[in-house]
Amino acid sequence: MLKRTALAALGAVALTAAAAPKDERPVVGLITKTETNPFFVKMKEGAAAAAQAQGAVLLTASGRSDGDNLGQVAAMENMVAAGAKTILITPNDAKAIVPTLRRVRAKGVQVIALDSPTDPQDATDALLATDNYQAGVLIGQYARSALGGKKPVIATLDLFPGHPVGAQRHNGFLKGFGLKSLEAGSKLLAQPAEVACMADSYGDQAKGQTVMENCLQKNPDINLVYAINEPAAAGAWRALRAAGKEKGVTIVSVDGGCQGVRDVGAGAIAATSQQYPLRMAALGVQAGVEYARTGQKLSGFMDTGVNLVTARPVEGVASLDVAKGTELCWGKK
């Protein structure tokens, strides 16, 4: 029997909840991709604060690693059994999770995707997320201006094949730069001639460093790096520094976490598009409480906002400075 007052091991996942007596408080579940990624740590903080403020019980769980669909399936089934009427999820596998979502929704449970859409997107009732295509457009526009007319020789450190967020950021970046690209609905990655190296980093710093090393071997004239997130960008910078090229290459990224903003301030990353996971989670909990009390479900896509953060602003591209980016990093007030 699941206890809401203690950590309970449930196969591939860990499921926890704030202490709660037997009462009629709304029960909301939050399932993140992993427990350790700072992005999802911040998301969990936002959900916990919102649940406490609104008198809800919060159950939390995650997969063991990015890509662990089975862990998320087990978490969802256990949360429904524990009484959750709303599930918030950042899907590890946009397609594989869909049959479980449909079964759960058929039982009257509201399911809201956070950060990453499912495939198809309407497999959930709603999506609370960054407009990832626009996040890419912002850093593409910035990069074009920052290069000052120099011919771009680009390396892209992408996520992994087929992921909608990875495709949206990549293609948005190319669109913002003014290069041949694909539109926001595509899951393919555009590769115009200016992209000299394109490889998957899985959003990981160590993999990002290895990918960048390989790209430099392929083309030592790379002068612009797009990275799917700030850990991958940090890996790219390390590779560039080891090669003595860190001062001649512009790195742009997406996330806007506190460490990422510090990297912008230090000059390792030229600009990053900042997103707000705390807001995603807080709005999700609010929707869960509303559904429990009124029966009204959230629907459609809600853009939770994105801002460019840089220490070196460029004309024509609106941005926040490092101080403001630090104040707002991932929704911190």
CATH number of the domain residue 36 falls in: 3.40.50.2300
Are residue 163 and residue 228 in the same domain, yes or no?
A: yes
Are residue 63 and residue 166 in the same domain, yes or no?
A: no
Length of the chain measured in residues: 333
What's residue 11's pLDDT?
Answer: 35
For residue range 154-165, what is the model confidence (pLDDT) as tens digits?
999 999 888 889
For residue range 49-58, what is the model confidence (pLDDT) as tens digits?
999 999 999 9
For residue range 84-103, what is the model confidence (pLDDT) as tens digits?
999 999 998 889 999 999 99
Query: Between residues 35 and 70, which one has the greater pLDDT?
Result: 70
Are residue 101 and residue 139 in the same domain, yes or no?
A: no
What's residue 18's pLDDT?
Answer: 46
Are residue 121 and residue 138 in the same domain, yes or no?
A: no
163 in a domain, yes or no? yes
What's residue 332's pLDDT?
Answer: 66
For residue range 105-141, what is the model confidence (pLDDT) as tens digits?
999 999 999 999 999 999 999 999 999 999 999 999 9
Distance CA 73, CA 227 (A): 30
Predicted confidence (pLDDT) at residue 276 exceeds the cutoff of 70: yes
Are residue 143 and residue 159 in the same domain, yes or no?
A: yes
What's residue 9's pLDDT?
Answer: 31
Q: Is the pTM of this model over 0.85?
A: yes
What's residue 163's pLDDT?
Answer: 85
Phi, psi of 114 (to 5 degrees): -115, 135
Share of the chain above pLDDT 70, in %: 92
**Residue 266 neighbours by CB under 8 Å, 6+ apart:** none
Distance CA 207, CA 316 (A): 34
Structural domains counted in the chain: 2
Are residue 122 and residue 264 in the same domain, yes or no?
A: no
Are residue 154 and residue 268 in the same domain, yes or no?
A: yes
Are residue 256 and residue 167 in the same domain, yes or no?
A: yes
1 in a domain, yes or no? no
What's residue 23's pLDDT?
Answer: 61
- Of the pLDDT bands very low, low, confident and very high (cuts 50, 70, 90), residue 240 is very high
Are residue 84 and residue 44 in the same domain, yes or no?
A: yes
Distance CA 28, CA 26 (A): 6
Q: Which amino acid is at 184?
A: A
Are residue 120 and residue 25 in the same domain, yes or no?
A: yes
Predicted confidence (pLDDT) at residue 267 exceeds the cutoff of 90: yes
Q: Which amino acid is at 23?
A: D
Total Cβ atoms within 10 A of residue 114 = 28
Distance CA 218, CA 233 (A): 18
The mean pLDDT value of the chain amounts to: 91
Q: Which amino acid is at 165?
A: V
For residue range 300-332, what is the model confidence (pLDDT) as tens digits?
999 999 999 999 999 999 999 999 999 999 886
Domain of 142 in residue numbering reads as 132-274+308-331
CA distances from 168 to 183, 188, 250, 283, 309 (A): 8, 9, 21, 23, 19
Q: Which two tokens stand for residue 158?
A: 């992408």
Q: Which two tokens stand for residue 249?
A: 């290459």
Q: Which two tokens stand for residue 104?
A: 């759960």
What's residue 21's pLDDT?
Answer: 45
What letters, b where the CB count within 10 A reaches 16 and e where it falls short, cover 255-291?
A: bbbbebbbbbbeebbbbbbbbbbbbbbbbbbbbbbbb
Are residue 23 and residue 114 in the same domain, yes or no?
A: yes
2 in a domain, yes or no? no
For residue range 175-205, what is the model confidence (pLDDT) as tens digits?
999 999 999 999 999 999 999 999 999 999 9
116 in a domain, yes or no? yes
Asked, as a colleague might, if the bond just before 120 is cis with ω within 30 of 0, I would say: yes
Are residue 110 and residue 156 in the same domain, yes or no?
A: no
Question: Are 16 and 60 contacting, i.e. CB atoms less than 8 angstroms apart?
Answer: yes
- Of the pLDDT bands very low, low, confident and very high (cuts 50, 70, 90), residue 150 is very high
User: 3-class SS at 62?
Assistant: strand
